[in-house]
Amino acid sequence: MWWYVAKRLLQTIPVFLGATLILFTMLKLRPGDPILNLVGDKPISDALRAQLTEQYALDDPIFVQWLHWVGNALTLDFGETFAGQPVIELISQTFPVTVVLAMMALAIDAVLGIVIGTYAGLKRNGIFDSSMLVMSLILLSVPIFVVGFVMQLVFGVKLGWTSPTVGGDWTVSSLILPAIVLAIANFAYTIRLTRTSVAENLTADHVRTARAKGLSEGKVVRRHVLRNSLVPVVTYIGINLGSLMAGAVITESIFNIPGVGNAAYTAIMKGETPTVVTIVTFMVMVYVLMSLLVDLIYAVLDPRIRYA
């Protein structure tokens, strides 16, 4: 199995190179002039412009800029933002809160989604199942920023149960509301997936055999139904981390969370290519490692899946 892990880790190298090259090319297509942002649209002398252009390597061909960036990245030097802050420092300041937020959303999504989905699957076509189907449909169709603003207004401003924004002094408890908002869309999907999967497995041969052996209903569900049903659900939840990070950009701006989504947004608006590429690359890497973790969890759920 360790060989498998090593192999998967080696695969991240082409992913890293490919993703960064694509990002560089895409950002090059962004119109506009980053220097103008930098000087705030005031007149600037040609000499200073030339100096800044050179400092941020804005004139080099995109491939050269990319090579330059990759070369530096190998020594963990990700350059500086236009403001002169090392990008790695920016990431170490902004990444933890985003990761915690995404993990909390993931936990809410997984726990509630699986519990409710399983129950709905066991009692399918009952009142609980039908109402969950309707509810999940509603949750899926309302955009995340609407949910965000409404929950912020109700729980933060009107009821005052929690602070409506997070700010620099973030704590785990202050992230609960944003995490719920972030989890909501995915959570509805997890319910539906679990429900269908459980319902399907309930009629499988091995479940009938288990019942025939006289096993208690609880044991049948836990050992024989759930375990098999969870394989697709785990895949979905794992892959979700990517969309959670993307969703975090919106959630972070609604709740003023000083996370990586906000940092990426600001950098894109200013045309800071190296900063954007570095941040997004970190996101890509988290995603890659998460899907590796998902694959490893398969083996726990289903012993027939083994890696060599």
Partner 1 sequence: MRISRRTRIAGVALIAVAGLTLTACGSDSGSKADDNVITVYGTNPQNPLIPTATNEVGGGDPLNNIFAGLVAYNTDGSIVNEVADSIEPNEDSTVWTVTLKDGWTFSDGSAITANSFVDAWNYGADISNGHLGAYFFNPIKGTDEAGNTKEGEKISGLVVKDDKTFEISLKAPESDFPLRLGYSSYFPLPEVAYGSDGKITEEFGNAPIGNGPYQLTKSGWEKNKQISLEPNAKYSGVHEPKNDGLVFKFYAGGGTDAAYTDVQAGNLDVLDQVPPSAVTTFESDSNIQAYNEPGSMFASVTIPARLDHFAGEEGNLRRKAISMSINREQIAEKIYNNTRTAAVDFTSPVLEGWTEEIPGNEVVEHNPTEAKKLWAEADKISKWTGTFALGYNSDGAGHKEWTEAASNQIAENLGIKAEAKAYATFDEMRGQVTDRTIKTAFRTGWQADYPSMLNYLGALYGTGAGSNDGDYSNKKFDELIAKAASTTGDDRFKLITEAQSILMEDLPALPLFYYNSTAAVATDVKGFDFNWQAKPEYYQLTKK
- Of the candidate spans 116-124, 182-190, 193-201, 262-270, the one that interacts with partner 1 by CB under 8 A turns out to be 262-270
Residue-wise burial string across 93-117, b where 16 or more C-beta atoms lie within 10 A, e elsewhere = ebbebbbbbbebbbebbbeebbebb
- Of the candidate spans 11-19, 134-142, 160-168, 189-197, the one that interacts with partner 1 by CB under 8 A turns out to be 160-168
Query: Is residue 254 involved in binding partner 1 (CB under 8 A)?
Result: yes
Binding residue (CB under 8 A) for partner 1 from 3, 29, 43, 212: 43
Query: Is residue 93 involved in binding partner 1 (CB under 8 A)?
Result: yes
Angstrom distance (rounded) from CA 170 to CA 98? 11
Sequence-distant (6+) residues with CB within 8 A of 173 are 162
- Of the candidate spans 56-64, 118-126, 251-259, 279-287, the one that interacts with partner 1 by CB under 8 A turns out to be 251-259
Binding residue (CB under 8 A) for partner 1 from 156, 196, 200, 235: 156
Residues 178-217 that bind partner 1 (CB under 8 A): none
Which residue's CB is nearer to partner 1, number 2 or number 218? 2
Angstrom distance (rounded) from CA 148 to CA 89? 29
- Of the candidate spans 15-23, 95-103, 187-195, 222-230, the one that interacts with partner 1 by CB under 8 A turns out to be 95-103
Query: Is residue 153 involved in binding partner 1 (CB under 8 A)?
Result: yes
Count CB-CB contacts under 10 A for residue 133: 16
The number of residues that bind partner 1 (CB under 8 A) is 70
- Of the candidate spans 98-106, 111-119, 187-195, 214-222, the one that interacts with partner 1 by CB under 8 A turns out to be 98-106
Going by C-alpha positions, the residue among 100, 27, 2 that lies closest to residue 272 is 27
Residue-wise burial string across 48-74, b where 16 or more C-beta atoms lie within 10 A, e elsewhere = ebeebeeebeeeeeeeebbeebeeebe
DSSP 257-272: --SHHHHHHHHHHHT-
Angstrom distance (rounded) from CA 194 to CA 233? 6
Angstrom distance (rounded) from CA 97 to CA 238? 19
Torsion of CA 45, 47, 50, 56, to 10 degrees: -80
Q: How far is the CB of 125 from partner 1 (least distance, A)?
A: 34
Residues in contact with partner 1 by CB under 8 A are 1, 30-34, 36-45, 47-48, 51-52, 55, 82-85, 89-90, 93-94, 96-97, 99-100, 103-104, 107, 152-153, 156-157, 160, 163-165, 167-172, 252-259, 262-263, 265-266, 269, 271, 293, 296-297, 299-300, 303
